[in-house]
Amino acid sequence: MDVHLAVASKRDSRAYSGADVPDAIARRILDAGRLVGSARNRQPFRFIVIEGEAVPAVADAVYTAGNVLDAGLVVAVVVSPGGNLVDFDAGRAAQSMMLAGWAEGITSCPNGIADPDGLARTLGIEPPERVVVVVSFGPPRKARDPQRRTPEEWSARAKRQSLDAIVSHVGAPAG
């Protein structure tokens, strides 16, 4: 899939089919997270795949349990301290994983953490490590076709602020 089309057409999804994410695709999703750049190439993150009996406990720790319970793949992004960009680096990893999934027809949603202490206990995380986000992935409940629109059409339909509203320039224009 064209990168601009992937970025423009990707929407968070909380409606999964209930099917598993095939192992080969799950591996590509995780590898996309591994490959992102990070400050000083520290790679201050690691990924925990949540499976089996851990799924309900993780679902209880996020704001919307169904996002985790119905997913075919659930990944916690864990960071260790060391600089002021660890959360940014974790976000880069999560977004790359979500875009890699979307390129394979897998939808996803980042899940906020309502109970960080309970989640840490469930995952065996000890301070100073912490979970930044839990990302759920799954085949969509309803088929989606990103090719049905151009990137520009997706962009125009997005419920986002306009580009002019969020971009400003400082200094002299390059000439």
Sheet containing strand 45-49, edge to edge, reads: 45-49, 73-79, 130-138, 107-111
Tens-place pLDDT, residues 100-131: 999 999 999 999 999 999 999 999 999 999 99
Which of the four pLDDT bands, split at 50, 70 and 90, describes residue 175?
low
pLDDT of residue 102: 93
Topology of the domain covering 3-157: NADH Oxidase (3.40.109)
Tens-place pLDDT, residues 131-163: 999 999 999 988 888 888 988 988 888 888 998
Distance CA 161, CA 60 (A): 33
Indicate the domain borders of the chain: 3-157
Task: List the alpha helices (DSSP H) in the chain.
Answer: 3-9, 23-34, 54-61, 65-69, 86-103, 116-123, 151-157, 163-166
Which residues, at least 6 apart from 60, have a Cβ–Cβ distance to it below 8 Å?
115, 118
Predicted model pTM: 0.89
Which string of b and e fits 85-122 if b means at least 16 CB within 10 Å? ebeebbbbbbbbbbbbbbbbebbbbbbebeeeeebbeb
Tens-place pLDDT, residues 14-66: 889 999 999 999 999 999 999 997 777 777 789 999 999 999 999 999 999 99
Length of the chain: 175
